[in-house]
Structure 1
Amino acid sequence: MEAIVRQESGWILSQQLASGAVITAYPGQPKIVPYFGHLALYGLAAWGFSLSRVRAYLDWYLAHLERPDRYGVTGTVYDYYLDERGAEVPAYTYDSSDSYAATFLTLVRLYYGNSGDRAWLKNHRQELELVAGAMLATLQKDNLTLARSDWRVKYLMDNCEVYRGLKDYAWLLAEAGNTGEAERYEALAGKVREAMEAKMRVNGGYCPAIYRAGLRRRPNWKKWYPDALAQLFPIITGVLTPREEAARRLYANFLRNYPHWYRQTQPENFITTLVAYAATLMEDRWRVRQYVEGLEENIIARGHPWPYHAAEAGILLLALKTYLAGDAKE
């Protein structure tokens, strides 16, 4: 597993452009999707690898903040595509304003936690505040965020990531000595968590989305995305701690519906590494080992075929860091 960590770290870096941006190698045309860039670099930052390259990405993101964007939101970053000359061209849209911003702040925390780069944190204080504002731009009175100002759906995945982003930004503010602001963001995180528990929790799981007029959709466990995968996000983002009964029940329900997820490592039936990360947090070590062995044989050894991309590798590094820490304890 340590060899895979080294290999995948190098492969993630091979997906980074000279500008600092990280590409997602979609079939046909690579794109710069900041959300996936954040997840790709989670692994490097968590391991403390190539932190100067992580910082180069952070600088790229902050240099591309919109003030405001086409939706009237300040502090967001569009997706970009590469033209025939390799120039980065804005797509003038993004999948979500809440998750892009939240996951960026989580990446900053991982970077700072391993670099101690106080100067960078101080120099970019105002820009980070803009990103935090973008994360909360769609926060509603019920303390849940909409994915985008023109897409009025409150997703479980997004709000889990917002909870984590708020917690991480509060930590960064405390590190910078801004105790009052840190407490404010910590309190906001608590409100988002309470809102998810009150409005999205259903028997044995969470509704994956709340639509206009408060319409709640119960999870269809047989529908992989977003329903079933979303159920793991409270565990992945720390909304639930792995030892909580609610987390154990959630993961048991997942296994009941996907008992052989660890076998799905072929490109045609690939299950995201996010599942392996959740399984690692839940100490499901046997299934994680089986999954990683299949991933090495069917994906890594075959040159990383789609749908595996840099974000998958980044989350794999997170999973393996947690797994190997468990080895050390044993």
Structure 2
Amino acid sequence: MPKALRILSGPYAGGYELAPNGRLNWYFANLGLLPLVPMLSAADLQTYILPYLNLYLASTDPATSTIADIEFPYGRANTSVVKKVLADSDDAYASTFLSLASRYVAASGNWSWWEARKAALKNIAYRNLALTAKPSGLTAVFQAPRSQTNASGYLMDNCEGYRGLRDFAAVLRSRSELSEANYYDLLATNTADGIARHLFKGSAQAFLASDATLVPSTEFYPGTTCQVYPQAFGLRELTTQFSAGWNYLNIHTPGWETGRHDPFPWAILGYVAALRGQSSLARTQLVAIDKTFAANRSLVTINELGFYLRTRSVLNGGTAP
């Protein structure tokens, strides 16, 4: 489980490896830790989540509120020897972190932490999700100057962005910071509208992977896998398109639940199957992931474990974490 990947010593203690002896990828760690928040006791939240949140904030660039991944060339036993690696997005890292921070503070009631860190959290939201918003409502994947080489608005990133903005706005609203809550809620609404207008193709009944593509792709990644992201991240404005995305996935890449299309499990697909009441498909994927876990642990990464836990929670009658 994700807790087993926790780094216990060195300058990145409190962080999490992507997989055993893998890098610290903050985006995947965020996704892996999110479903843990409602499952942990108050004491465990302070042990497994709070140090990670503080480490993330301490590791961001103070001028841009962006963050670099960390490679451990000799494994986690040598965390004093590290190499920083450019993140492959600014928007998705920021939004998934905002979701994690928002859910932690709501679950723990640690409002003194919130008050001490909210300025940094607001900078993350503003610099990575507000300043990068395009006229279409979609968020560009990178801040300047990296946006000069890639300013695309990706479906996956923008679904995660929507969720981060909604979660962050909910905490702001609970603290009576209404003007800022309204601002970030508006950005989320604009994101959903941008996806509906620019990324959903009615003629194909499918989503585009990004605003840089003209037609939906039938390739597994990102073409069919991206189709479930609006439902996975709860874009309520797009509920009428959820079934179209789901059908496109299953028509063009049947058998995804057995892992036939990619060595990585793509547990998010089983999670959406569970949300849709497709219990047989979801359980089949869980069995396949268990087999993958036993055969090659490095393929079941922390983000995959996060969605694995979400799937099990939904199948067991719980709410979507």
* 1:123 to partner: Cα distance: 1.7
Q: 1:152 to 1:241 in 2, by over 3 A?
A: closer
**2: CA distance, partners of 1:234 / 1:160:** 6
Residues 109 and 169 of structure 1 are in contact (CA less than 8 Å); yes or no, is this contact kept in structure 2? yes
Aligned with 1:110 (options 88, 103, 109): 103
Q: Does 1:250 align with 2:271?
A: no
| Aligned twin of 1:82 | 72
| Aligned twin of 1:277 | 271
Deviations 1:273-300 (A, max 9, x none): 111111111111111112112322x133
Letter in 1 for 2:189: G
Residues 14 and 52 of structure 2 are in contact (CA less than 8 Å); yes or no, is this contact kept in structure 1? yes
**2: CA distance, partners of 1:111 / 1:208:** 30
Aligned with 1:217 (options 211, 214, 217): 214
**2: CA distance, partners of 1:265 / 1:42:** 27
Aligned with 1:17 (options 7, 10, 13): 7
Letter in 2 for 1:293: V
**1: CA distance, partners of 2:272 / 2:244:** 13
**1: CA distance, partners of 2:52 / 2:155:** 27
Deviations 1:254-284 (A, max 9, x none): 2222332222279x74431111111111111
| Aligned twin of 1:91 | 84
**1: CA distance, partners of 2:139 / 2:244:** 26
* 1:63 to partner: Cα distance: 0.8
The answer to which of 100-109 and 44-53 deviates more is 44-53
| Aligned twin of 1:159 | 158
After superposition, residues 195-206 of structure 1 pair within 5 angstroms as 195-203=194-202, 204-206=205-207
| Aligned twin of 2:35 | 43
**1: CA distance, partners of 2:60 / 2:240:** 41
Q: 1:67 to 1:269 in 2, by over 3 A?
A: closer
Secondary structure of residue in 2 paired with 1:80: strand
**2: CA distance, partners of 1:322 / 1:122:** 33
Residues 122 and 176 of structure 1 are in contact (CA less than 8 Å); yes or no, is this contact kept in structure 2? no
Letter in 2 for 1:228: T
Q: 1:48 to 1:217 in 2, by over 3 A?
A: farther
Residues 138 and 146 of structure 1 are in contact (CA less than 8 Å); yes or no, is this contact kept in structure 2? yes
| Aligned twin of 2:126 | 133
**1: CA distance, partners of 2:192 / 2:237:** 12
**Alignment size in residue pairs:** 301
| Aligned twin of 1:189 | 188
Secondary structure of residue in 1 paired with 2:140: coil
Secondary structure of residue in 1 paired with 2:60: coil
**1: CA distance, partners of 2:138 / 2:237:** 20
**1: CA distance, partners of 2:81 / 2:88:** 18
Residues 165 and 184 of structure 2 are in contact (CA less than 8 Å); yes or no, is this contact kept in structure 1? yes
Q: What fraction of aligned residue pairs are identical, expressed as a percent?
A: 24
**1: CA distance, partners of 2:285 / 2:88:** 29
Deviations 1:161-203 (A, max 9, x none): 1111111110111122212211111111111111111111103
Residues 224 and 253 of structure 2 are in contact (CA less than 8 Å); yes or no, is this contact kept in structure 1? no
Deviations 1:37-93 (A, max 9, x none): 10110121132353121111111101111022xxxxx11111111244322635251
Letter in 1 for 2:233: T
**1: CA distance, partners of 2:263 / 2:73:** 31
| Aligned twin of 2:226 | 230
For structure 2, the residue ranges without an aligned partner over 5 or more in a row are none
Q: 1:179 to 1:123 in 2, by over 3 A?
A: same
Instruction: State the superposition RMSD in angstroms.
Output: 2.2
Q: Does 1:61 align with 2:53?
A: no
TM-score by length of 2: 0.87
Aligned with 1:148 (options 142, 145, 150): 142
Letter in 1 for 2:29: G
Letter in 1 for 2:215: R
| Aligned twin of 1:262 | 257
**1: CA distance, partners of 2:17 / 2:304:** 12
* 1:247 to partner: Cα distance: 1.0
For structure 1, the residue ranges without an aligned partner over 5 or more in a row are 1-7, 69-73
| Aligned twin of 1:178 | 177
